[in-house]
Amino acid sequence: MTQRTVVSWNAMISGYSNRGQLNESLTLVHAMHRNSIRLNETTFSTVLSVCAKLQSPIDGKLVHCLVLKSGCEGFKFVGSALLYFSANCFEIEQAKRVFDLLCEENELLWSLMLVGYVQCDLMSDALGFFNRMPTRDVVAWTMLISGYSKRESGCEKALELFLLMREEGEVAPNEFTFDGILRACGRVGAVDQGRVVHGMVIRYGLEFEHLIGGALIGFYCSCNVMGDAKRVYDKLVNPCLNASNMLIEGLFVMGEVNEAEMIFNGPVERNPVTDNVMIKGYAVSGRADDSERVFLQKTQRTIGSSNAMISVYSRNGEIGKALKLCEQTKGERNPVTWNSIISGHIQSAQHEEALKLYMSMRRLSVGQTRSTFSALFHASLLDMYCKCGSITDAQKSFMEIYSPNVAGWTALILGYAHYGLCSEALLLFEHMFPHHTPAHVFLYPILVRWAFPQGYPVFLN
């Protein structure tokens, strides 16, 4: 173009933003500013939204300075974009300052401020703010209910708010409200309340919406009511991937492997998540060979499927296969990959190798997660406490492990047995049985040796 106006610049910036090419959009704004083209309210609202999506506080604050310099903060969409940017970058105090400054002239800011509180997980502040809102539409109710439903400790409050919403009758729930409340019912196992919500969904004519269908299936699967989950699924004309994946996972949890296979092999669309659900489901059902078959049949493997298979190999004691597959993921590895292979070494009692892998993880600046420390730190501590005779500390360390693996169970059982706590060892052994059956082949003779009078009947069984 021989002459570029602010309109043409804005069109290009918005075009890149709408296509998800956020960095390119931001680069154009920098070029626009360098060329002394004055940014207007349209430019500001677009670029602040881009900064929010990129979670780029430095660029956003620079744009904020230009907004103040130009006097455009009074425009509704610019003020809304400023608040959205601050909240999305978890700058909640800055968001509050923007709200306090502009809320009297911009009613759009009330909903955005509520979103900011929920997004920053400040639910007490969100509830207090919600109660001060001059008008509360379905978006505000749904945002607060969904915020509480995502927290394990907040589900009861979500149910309470949903009941209050129905009693006050200000607005009618929509599909997003029902989605949030069904998830809350599933989390706390509120079967009766969830069935009431299901009845309301039918009354509102939303039962066949993909979002609702998936939420209903997820709710019934969480409550282990698989008959109802299958009935909902069978009524869906074209089940979405999310619904199929949730039902398959739920069927595996309940041990209905054949039913899960029928859905997987049926005329439904699949994606990498579907394959991963099957890989994990077969592993939980003690069919690691079938997990491997599904994995090897994949023409395009993702890092997610590789991580799932590494975990299966590790849990099955096939550390060589896990290492080989881990080597093939170079360049794609993420914290889950590292956690899986570290956990595999710990389960194989190769603690020094696990520690070396952890040191490599640190050296390569790979982010550590709760699972990293749960697998490495607690298992190693547990083993050390048992060998040093500090059984009380070993027991405390075991209780802190989120999901104890074979190494954790074995270390504590052997610690109990070694120091003459035979009854405790046998009791823990019985608790372990449903979780890690293969390990019993190793533990049978040891328990018999350390506690023959009590261990012999167990050995015979």
pLDDT tens, per residue, the chain with 461 residues: 667 888 888 899 889 888 889 889 889 988 888 888 888 888 888 888 888 888 888 888 888 888 888 888 778 788 888 888 888 888 889 889 888 888 887 888 898 899 999 988 999 999 999 999 999 999 999 999 999 998 878 999 999 999 999 999 889 999 999 999 999 999 999 999 999 999 999 999 998 888 899 999 999 998 989 999 999 998 888 888 888 889 998 898 888 989 999 988 887 777 888 888 898 888 888 888 998 998 888 777 888 888 888 888 887 878 888 888 888 887 788 888 878 878 777 777 777 777 787 777 777 777 766 566 555 555 556 566 666 766 676 666 666 554 565 666 777 777 777 777 777 777 777 766 555 444 444 454 555 554 444 444 544 44
Q: What is the pLDDT of residue 434?
A: 55
Encoded amino acid at 449, one letter: R
Gap between the Cα atoms of 97 and 120, Å rounded? 16
Q: What is the pLDDT of residue 439?
A: 46
Q: Are the C-beta atoms of residues 328 and 297 closer than 8 Å to each other?
A: no
Encoded amino acid at 199, one letter: G
Any alpha helices (H) in 55-106, and if so which ranges?
A: 57-70, 76-88, 92-102
Residue tagged 């698989």 (tokens) = 226
Give the number of other Cβ atoms within 10 Å of residue 66's Cβ: 16
Gap between the Cα atoms of 440 and 459, Å rounded? 10
Domains of the chain in sequence order: 1-132 (1.25.40), 136-269 (1.25.40.10), 389-460 (no CATH)
Gap between the Cα atoms of 439 and 436, Å rounded? 6
DSSP secondary structure letters along 167-227: HH-SS---HHHHHHHHHHHHHHT-HHHHHHHHHHHHHTT-TTSHHHHHHHHHHHHHTT-HH
Under 8 Å CB-to-CB from 449, ≥6 apart: which residues? 455
Residues constituting the chain:
461
The SS3 of residue 37 is coil
Among candidates 89, 139, 149, 88, which has minimal Cα distance to 110? 139
Among candidates 344, 350, 353, which has minimal Cα distance to 326? 344
Gap between the Cα atoms of 147 and 412, Å rounded? 39
> What is this structure's pTM?
0.69
Among candidates 274, 325, 331, which has minimal Cα distance to 340? 325
Q: What is the CA radius of gyration of the chain?
A: 28
